[in-house]
């Protein structure tokens, strides 16, 4: 009788269990918290001598199943030893398939030409529809090679897209879907063996996780047409024959342009150390347009929604308004912008206080061959109340790509611009790919304006979008603008968002990420001419722009990062330090500051010296006879520029006399603040502004010694609404137009109290601040 330890059933069971345990251990190494994984082509261990024949089938199923976490999502391989001379691997069975790297698997060489993504790490989290990746093939410092990188999804939910490799560098766009996006990158070149086989060996793998940031307001995309528009755009006959120039084609092209904006902006934010934060789009479930296969098979996807809006104007009325950038002195330069704003408001019907961010394509822009100008076009961006709007014409639309497969061809198409049919915008669109740059880039410029960006010294907000194509190409084509033959594109050659643009985006509500901490609803910034210049912001100061005499764009600034709990809610600015950051020739003269909060608020100080001069200081009698103390006027809200506006200012009676107590405050208001009346316990009164409209009364609790500690003010050109804050933590109602202007909270610095009010009044109050003293 055989010994008990020769129980064959038990041996068989242990063998199977041992095999599965090793496999589980391999899988864990692929997790995000595991050890440094490797990928590439490995031959599976031989299983011919396994005691359980069913293991053959089990392993086979696991190898081909896309749901297997360890095999369908390998991590990128480490870069091979640079001294190796092995640049290709001869055909080996199963070499192209991802395999586990357990102890029982033989270690086989990995191709040195497997693509290496340098800007995205394994298991990175992103928040946008389209991701821009770039990297290298081989070792560019030793040997350069051209070829093609094909990016495919392991779940085959998006067709493989090929991207050119130039001098061992490549760039590619990847379509993201919510959840884990498991990608395979294959390199092929006629100079390498086996690269064109059915089992390519120059492969690498990457997993990127995507979360849609539904907690941020979207950037809406809209196409605007006249009420009698045929819904077509300018195009040469060959283009019309090949792809059409109707509304459906316009939608596909505008959507793809918006995806390029998003991919470019997210990459720029990442390079500026702000993570891959970017604006999102409203999406709809519709026929996919991002690739050719979707159109052929009618595949439905969640794509960026393009709203189609018709105005109440005719085509002739719109085209008669020539608002192109070539004609800045037109008598009604904002005509088309106003028409677009009215149409967008009527279409979206926003609620009171709801901010809308809309980028509009004017489809009826048209190249007038007789007058050699573009009519029905406007290039403008900004805000009208709560509507943040950017508009741009469709005169370059024919050159835009409509899908991922067309991005590289669109940005390398050197077909000359035929001015018998389409315009050459600012003479910078001499060929098709340059027209795509102008159209997509200039529209992005106007979209930057709707997000609150001013012009900058460089980048998209100057006019560097003429090189926008370089962000998506590894080689540039011949340029008619510069008369250069093109060549390889390095990162330093690319178009950028300026650092100040990225700082503004960091605080913009459209760029919020799901894991961002909640911000205080008060995003305002306040300035007090005490102890130099004291700046206060509930959400913290983000950065300060410094402008010298006659500067129209910012060249110097100070950043106050919020990372690692470093938010500075109160800080003092020193004039010497501020001027020291300016060029030598700009350190004298008027000094202007623009202070930004982490919540997105802003405060402009037109003249530092004037705010901090004796004009902002006044003398108050103290409780000790013969002595005085200083009081300081805060930075005023409102423009004080209404017709008939007159200055108003007084010190509270209760601050001058100890036998007087403020008992109630009367607010006179309508759709703005007409005046504020301060009533004391002896019924004496002080009126700031004038009486008018409705009246609201707020009683102070004089028995508990309640006093004013601050005001919450909504203001823009004038004072829209006002609210008082007290020492007992109480707040009055917000009197006036509660949805007008921007919110500001006036609370004095620590150690100071409010002792009066200052400002101005015209037909109603158009300037307001407080006076503080120790």
Q: What is the mean pLDDT of residues 690-709?
A: 93
Six-digit token string for 343: 């149409």
pLDDT surpasses 50 at 284: yes
Six-digit token string for 61: 């199923």
What pLDDT score does 40 carry?
36
The pairing of beta strand 380-384 with beta strand 765-773 = unpaired
Q: Which of 492, 301, 495, 496 lies closest to 404, judged by CA?
A: 301
Q: Just list the catalytic residues.
A: 446
- Which strands sit side by side in the sheet containing 617-621, from one edge to the other? 617-621, 628-633, 765-773, 753-761, 646-651
Specify the range with the lowest mean pLDDT, choosing from 237-241, 576-580, 625-629. Answer: 625-629
| Residue-wise pLDDT tens digits, 353-392 | 899 999 999 999 999 888 888 999 999 999 998 999 999 9
- Three-class HEC string of 376-411: CCECEEEEECCEEEEEEECCCHHHCCCCHHHHHHHC
What pLDDT score does 111 carry?
81
Domains of the chain, CATH where assigned: 109-212 (2.60.40.10), 220-509 (no CATH), 517-611 (2.60.40), 623-773 (2.100.10.30)
pLDDT band at 199 (very low <50, low <70, confident <90, very high): low
Give alpha helix (H) positions in 272-330. Answer: 292-297, 315-319
306's CB contacts (< 8 A; 6+ apart) are: 221, 222, 223, 251, 254, 255
24 vs 293, residue with greater confidence = 293
Specify the range with the lowest mean pLDDT, choosing from 444-458, 561-575, 665-679. Answer: 561-575
pLDDT surpasses 60 at 23: no
**Helical axes 54-64 vs 8-28, angle rounded to 10°:** 10
The overall average pLDDT reported for the chain is 84
pLDDT band at 296 (very low <50, low <70, confident <90, very high): very high
Give CA separation, 761 vs 249, 617, 715, in Å: 54, 21, 13
What pLDDT score does 398 carry?
96
- DSSP class of residue 634 equals P
pLDDT surpasses 80 at 25: no
Q: Which of 549, 548, 547, 540 lies closest to 503, judged by CA?
A: 540
pLDDT surpasses 60 at 10: no
- Three-class HEC string of 43-78: CCCCCCCCCCCHHHHHHHHHHHCCCCCCCCCCCCCC
pLDDT above 70 covers a percentage of the chain that reads: 82
| Residue-wise pLDDT tens digits, 480-516 | 999 999 899 989 999 999 999 999 999 999 999 988 8
270's CB contacts (< 8 A; 6+ apart) are: 119, 276
| Residue-wise pLDDT tens digits, 143-186 | 889 999 999 999 999 999 999 999 999 999 999 999 999 999 99
pLDDT surpasses 80 at 190: yes
pLDDT surpasses 50 at 352: yes
pLDDT band at 6 (very low <50, low <70, confident <90, very high): very low
In order, the DSSP letters of 396-457 are: TGGGS-SSGGGHHHHTT--PBP-TTTS--GGG--SBHHHHHHHHHHHHHHHHHHHTT----S
Q: What is the mean pLDDT of residues 283-303?
A: 95
75 vs 771, residue with greater confidence = 771
pLDDT surpasses 60 at 35: no
226's CB contacts (< 8 A; 6+ apart) are: 310, 311, 313, 314, 315, 317, 318, 364
| Residue-wise pLDDT tens digits, 409-460 | 999 999 999 999 998 888 888 999 999 999 999 999 999 999 999 999 999 9
pLDDT band at 142 (very low <50, low <70, confident <90, very high): confident
pLDDT above 90 covers a percentage of the chain that reads: 67
pLDDT band at 53 (very low <50, low <70, confident <90, very high): very low
590 vs 19, residue with greater confidence = 590
What pLDDT score does 740 carry?
87
pLDDT band at 99 (very low <50, low <70, confident <90, very high): very low
| Residue-wise pLDDT tens digits, 521-543 | 889 999 999 988 999 999 999 99
What pLDDT score does 109 carry?
52
User: Are 641 and 606 a contacting pair, CB within 8 Å?
Assistant: no
| Residue-wise pLDDT tens digits, 75-91 | 444 444 433 333 333 33
pLDDT surpasses 80 at 49: no
């Amino acid at each position: 009788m055989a010994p008990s330890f020769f129980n064959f059933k038990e041996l068989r069971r242990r063998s199977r269990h041992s095999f599965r345990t090793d496999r589980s251990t391999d899988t864990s190494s692929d997790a995000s918290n595991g050890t440094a994984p490797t990928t590439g082509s490995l031959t599976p261990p031989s299983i011919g001598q396994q005691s359980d024949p069913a293991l053959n089938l089990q392993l086979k199923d696991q190898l081909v199943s896309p749901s297997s976490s360890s095999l369908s999502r390998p991590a990128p391989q480490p870069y091979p030893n640079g001294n190796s001379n092995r640049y290709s691997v001869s055909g080996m069975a199963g070499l192209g398939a991802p395999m586990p790297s357990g102890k029982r698997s033989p270690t086989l060489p990995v191709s040195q030409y497997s693509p290496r993504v340098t800007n995205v790490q394994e298991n990175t989290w992103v928040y946008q529809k389209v991701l821009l990746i770039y990297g290298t093939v081989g070792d560019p410092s030793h040997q350069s090679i051209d070829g093609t990188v094909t990016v495919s999804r392991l779940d085959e939910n998006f067709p493989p897209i090929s991207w050119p490799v130039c001098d061992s560098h490549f760039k590619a766009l990847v379509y993201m879907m919510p959840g884990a996006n498991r990608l395979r990158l294959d390199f092929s070149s006629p100079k390498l063996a086996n690269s064109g086989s059915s089992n390519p060996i120059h492969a690498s793998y990457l997993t990127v996780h995507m979360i849609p940031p539904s907690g941020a307001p979207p950037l809406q995309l809209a196409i605007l047409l006249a009420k009698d528009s045929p819904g077509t755009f300018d195009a040469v006959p060959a283009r019309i024959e090949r792809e059409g120039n109707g509304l459906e084609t316009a939608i596909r092209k505008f959507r793809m342009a918006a995806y390029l904006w998003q991919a470019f902006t997210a990459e720029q934010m990442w390079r500026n150390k702000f993570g891959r934060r970017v604006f999102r789009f409203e999406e709809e479930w519709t026929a996919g347009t991002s690739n050719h296969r979707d159109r052929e098979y009618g595949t439905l996807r969640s794509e960026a929604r393009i709203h189609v809006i018709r105005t109440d104007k005719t085509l002739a009325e719109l085209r008669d308004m020539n608002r192109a950038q070539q004609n800045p002195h037109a008598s009604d330069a904002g005509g088309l912008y106003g028409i677009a704003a009215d149409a967008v408001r009527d279409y979206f019907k926003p609620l009171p206080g709801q901010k809308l961010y809309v980028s509009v394509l004017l489809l009826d822009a048209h190249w007038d061959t007789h007058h050699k100008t573009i009519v029905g076009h406007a290039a403008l961006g900004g805000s009208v109340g709560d509507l943040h709007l950017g508009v741009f014409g469709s005169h370059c639309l024919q050159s835009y790509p409509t899908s991922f497969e067309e991005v590289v061809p669109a940005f390398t198409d050197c077909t000359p611009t035929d001015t018998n049919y389409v315009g050459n915008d600012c003479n910078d669109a001499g060929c098709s790919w340059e027209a795509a740059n102008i159209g997509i880039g200039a529209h992005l410029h106007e979209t930057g304006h709707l997000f609150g960006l001013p012009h900058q010294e460089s980048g998209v907000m100057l006019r560097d979008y003429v090189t926008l194509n370089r962000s998506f190409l590894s080689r540039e084509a011949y340029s008619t603008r510069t008369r250069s033959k093109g060549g390889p594109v390095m990162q330093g050659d690319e178009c950028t968002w300026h650092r100040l643009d990225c700082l503004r985006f960091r605080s913009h509500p459209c760029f919020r990420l799901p894991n961002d901490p909640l911000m205080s609803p008060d995003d305002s910034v306040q300035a007090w001419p005490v102890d130099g210049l004291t700046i206060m912001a509930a959400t913290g100061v983000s950065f300060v722009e410094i402008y010298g005499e006659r500067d129209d764009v910012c060249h110097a600034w100070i950043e106050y990062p919020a990372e690692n709990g470093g938010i500075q809610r109160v800080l003092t600015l020193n004039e010497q330090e501020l001027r020291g950051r300016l060029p030598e020739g700009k350190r004298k003269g008027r000094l202007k500051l623009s202070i930004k909060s982490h919540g997105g608020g802003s405060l402009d100080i037109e003249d530092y010296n004037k705010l901090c001069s004796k004009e902002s200081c006044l003398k108050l009698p103290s409780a000790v006879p013969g002595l005085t103390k200083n009081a300081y006027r805060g930075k005023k809200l409102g423009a004080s520029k209404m017709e008939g506006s007159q200055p108003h200012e007084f010190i509270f009676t209760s601050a001058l006399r100890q036998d007087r107590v403020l008992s109630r405050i009367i607010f006179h208001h309508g759709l703005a603040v007409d005046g504020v009346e301060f009533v004391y316990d002896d019924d004496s009164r002080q009126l700031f502004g004038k009486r008018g409209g409705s009246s609201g009364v707020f009683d102070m609790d004089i028995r508990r010694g309640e006093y004013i500690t601050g005001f919450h003010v909504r203001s823009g050109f004038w004072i829209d609404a006002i609210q008082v804050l007290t020492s007992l933590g109480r707040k009055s109602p917000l009197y006036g137009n509660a949805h007008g202007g921007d919110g500001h909270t006036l609370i004095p610095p620590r150690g100071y109290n409010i002792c009066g009010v200052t400002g101005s009044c015209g037909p109603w109050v158009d300037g307001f601040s407080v006076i503080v003293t120790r």
